[in-house]
Structure 1
Amino acid sequence: MTTENKSIVGRALAGLVDTGDVDTLASYLSEDFTHHRSDSTTSTRAQWLAAVRAALGPTAGMRVDILHLLADGDHVVVHSRRRLPDGGPEIVVVDVLRIADGLIAEGWEVIEPAGQAAANDAWWDARA
């Protein structure tokens, strides 16, 4: 199951990352897909796809590099680096996706601006 779930997510993201193909991604989402953000907001399938289309669609210009694609049971983790067009900020994103019945049923997303990583890690530094 883990290998198949990783493959499902890989296929769902391939067109999106390469060409901005949001429709292929949509075909891998369950009808009751829910997306969660670290600020406690949630989106429905339609709301999330509209946001993805605006950010990653063919005319949006965001570049996405997938760094890791890891799976454990019904969860797949995607670690990516994204660059906004026109020299905008670079962000690092971790998505945790839950697979059910061969479709992506739920997702959680954590975003960190790469330029703020050192400041955000200050709590970890024992000298701070």
Structure 2
Amino acid sequence: MSETSQAARNKQLVVDGFTQFAAGNIDVLRTLLREDFIEHSPGNPSGREAFIAFIAQAPVARARLDLKRVIADDDHVVMHYHMTTPDDPRGVAVVDIWRLIDGQIVEHWDAVQPVPEAAQIPHGMF
């Protein structure tokens, strides 16, 4: 089964934005997120400007983000990546789910799991 053109466009948009964000360009969120962006993660604010202000101060803004896989289906894009910081080299596994409308992200959900010691995951985390 091949991706629909909408799914392919959304996937490319989110991957390009992720790449820019991972390189330190937080301002890319101003074009990616719709003004009335809805955030579903506990403690994270909704609304584009509130979310950007929050995320600019969050560890993810200074972390190394190693993208492992991306799945797109119509208006949803799912990203699985490894996030590490100098203080936490083992890091966390993150799954982000983004919903897009007309080329902008309108909603976000995530699941974050600390990466355990290698002995606890013989088949690897990623």
Fold shared, TM-score > 0.5 on shorter chain? yes
Bucket of the pairwise TM-score, normalised by the shorter protein: 0.7 to 0.9
Q: Paired residue for 1:115?
A: 116
Can you give the 5+ residue segments of structure 1 that lack an aligned partner in the other structure?
Answer: 119-128
Contact 1:94 1:110 (C-alpha < 8 Å) held by counterparts: yes
Q: Is it true that 1:80 corresponds to 2:81 in the alignment? A: yes
Can you give the 5+ residue segments of structure 2 that lack an aligned partner in the other structure?
Answer: 1-5, 121-126
Q: Taking structure 1 as reference, are residues 116 and 95 closer, same or farther at Cα in structure 2, changes over 3 Å only?
A: farther
Q: Paired residue for 1:36?
A: 40
* Residue-pair matches, total: 113
Q: Paired residue for 1:47?
A: 50
TM-score by length of 1: 0.77
Q: Paired residue for 2:98?
A: 97
Higher relative helix content? 1
Contact 1:6 1:71 (C-alpha < 8 Å) held by counterparts: yes
Task: Tell me the distance in 2 between the aligned counterparts of 1:79 and 1:10.
Answer: 11
* Partner SS, residue 109 of structure 2: strand
Structure 1 segments, 4+ long, off by >4 Å, are none
Q: Paired residue for 1:5?
A: 10
Q: Taking structure 1 as reference, are residues 50 and 6 closer, same or farther at Cα in structure 2, changes over 3 Å only?
A: same
The CA deviation at 1:42 is 4.9
Task: Tell me the distance in 1 between the aligned counterparts of 2:73 and 2:87.
Answer: 37
Q: Taking structure 1 as reference, are residues 48 and 116 closer, same or farther at Cα in structure 2, changes over 3 Å only?
A: farther
